[in-house]
Amino acid sequence: MNMLKMDKVCAGYGDLKVLFDISLEINEGEVVALVGSNGAGKTTLLRTISGEVIPTSGSIKWLGMELTKLPENKRAVNGIAHIPQGRGILASLSIKDNLLLGTYTKRTKPRRAELLENALQMFPILKERLNFPAGSLSGGQQQMLAIARAMMMAPKLLILDEPSLGLAPVVVDDVYRILDVMKRQGSSMLVIEQNLTKALSISDRGYVLETGHMQMTGPSKELLNNKDIQKAYLGI
């Protein structure tokens, strides 16, 4: 069943058009990768889902509900968690406060204790430093915190914008290992990446975005073996 369905979405910033007739679907339990080079419009596409950018035309349906008409802050309560580019950590707040804010909505508040315990079990490093400001964590740890906080939201769909950005390769591996665990637990995800190999190796299906147009879509394995993509993005 479609959880999220974008239909012919156009969007941009003022006179600048960024997205042209974008259609995209995410099914329950599916991990979808959205790849493309710098400036292709990946982040803008995410922003139309998160409500920061209002599409000029087209529709975005979330579980049958029109997402473009929903106030920005209502996405969390409807089960969409969004880890923005640069992780979106609240640096001046303690790690614990960051995590607890994951259960701000009434959907997850009753399960706060249980969700917190789960998150800390998965990320023991956070447990040792609960009362430290989140800004004191290293980049990789901040990404873990961002994922942990998103898990606290018990999301139906987790959206990640470049989870590998600015991280050391070893740490990127760690992040993807965790995403893999979450995938096997049945989480639906939309992962945006420039790191094409990583993104396509974890996902079931992929979309390739190029200068605002959806260029190609298909099972991730096929995309990885596609000659054009290899040439354009991997330089093989």
Binding site for other proteins (CB under 8 A): 50-52, 71-77, 81-82, 84, 88, 90-93, 97, 100-102, 104-105, 109, 149, 153
Q: Measured from the CB of residue 108, what is the shortest distance to other proteins in angstroms?
A: 9
Task: Please count the other Cβ atoms lying within 10 Å of the Cβ belonging to residue 10.
Answer: 16
Q: Measured from the CB of residue 229, what is the shortest distance to other proteins in angstroms?
A: 31
Q: Measured from the CB of residue 92, what is the shortest distance to other proteins in angstroms?
A: 5
Phi, psi of 211 (to 5 degrees): 35, 50
Nearer to other proteins, 50 or 226 (CB): 50
Nearer to other proteins, 149 or 198 (CB): 149
Nearer to other proteins, 139 or 232 (CB): 139
Beta pairing, strands 188-193 & 157-161: parallel
Report whether 190 contacts 114 (CB < 8 A): no
Nearer to other proteins, 153 or 202 (CB): 153
Residue 73 token pair: 């802050």
Q: Measured from the CB of residue 121, what is the shortest distance to other proteins in angstroms?
A: 21
Residue 216 bridge partners (DSSP): 208
Q: Measured from the CB of residue 80, what is the shortest distance to other proteins in angstroms?
A: 9
Q: Measured from the CB of residue 147, what is the shortest distance to other proteins in angstroms?
A: 14
Phi-psi region of 14 (alpha: psi -120 to 50; beta: other; left: phi over 0): left
Residue 190 token pair: 């939309």
- In whole angstroms, give the CA distance from residue 16 to residue 37: 18
Q: Which among 221, 224, 226, 222 has a CA at the least distance from the CA of 195?
A: 224
Nearer to other proteins, 84 or 213 (CB): 84
Nearer to other proteins, 91 or 234 (CB): 91
**Residue 122, CA distances (Å) to 49, 163, 177 in order:** 28, 17, 12
